[in-house]
């Protein structure tokens, strides 16, 4: 499959699907770029930019950042919570569902939130 075939197929998509596809392509391109040029990640890290490696739930600054953002957003449903966390990482190439679950469990462990019947309760 080449670019021209994909471009023709994309013209048939709705505008929402085009936007979703564009976001996916940007995320895939960033991940590929990070894998092929790891030296650039080190430079970005020293310049204060974040990257996918720094966005792991083990990073205490990341959890505190997420807690700060969630305390302002206060999503009520579990799905909204997942979407909010996902949005926080969309410009760093995205975040995996596994990492989102780790973040949620860390937030529960720190007694920041409790989830009951798909509802989020802030403690």
Tokens representing 105? Answer: 């469990």
Assess whether 80 and 112 both reside in one domain: yes
Tell me which residue range forms the domain holding 14.
1-36
Do 73 and 113 fall into the same domain? yes
Tell me the CA distances in angstroms from 40 to 25, 26, 35, 70, one per residue in order: 20, 17, 10, 30
Domain assignment present for residue 89? The answer is yes
pTM of the complete model: 0.53
Phi, psi (5° rounding) for residue 113?
-135, 165
Total count of domains within the chain: 2
Question: What CATH number has the domain bearing residue 57?
Answer: 1.10.10.10
Alpha helices in the chain (DSSP H): 3-10, 15-36, 38-46, 60-73, 78-88, 97-109
45 in a domain, yes or no? no
Same domain, 104 and 57: yes
Mean pLDDT by 10 residues, the chain (123 residues): 87 91 86 74 43 47 87 92 89 84 93 92 89
pLDDT (0 to 100) of residue 107 = 93
C-alpha 51, offset from chain centre: 11
């Amino acid at each position: 499959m080449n670019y021209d075939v994909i471009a023709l197929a994309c013209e048939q998509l709705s505008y929402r699907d085009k936007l979703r596809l564009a976001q996916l392509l940007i995320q895939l391109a960033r991940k590929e770029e990070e894998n092929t040029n790891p030296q650039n990640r080190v430079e970005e890290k020293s310049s204060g930019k974040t990257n996918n490696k720094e966005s792991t739930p083990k990073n205490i600054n990341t959890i505190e950042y997420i807690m700060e953002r969630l305390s302002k957003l206060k999503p009520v449903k579990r799905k909204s919570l997942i979407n909010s966390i996902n949005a926080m990482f969309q410009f760093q190439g995205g975040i995996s569902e596994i990492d989102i679950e780790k973040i949620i469990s860390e937030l529960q462990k720190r007694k920041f939130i409790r989830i009951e019947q798909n509802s989020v309760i802030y403690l």
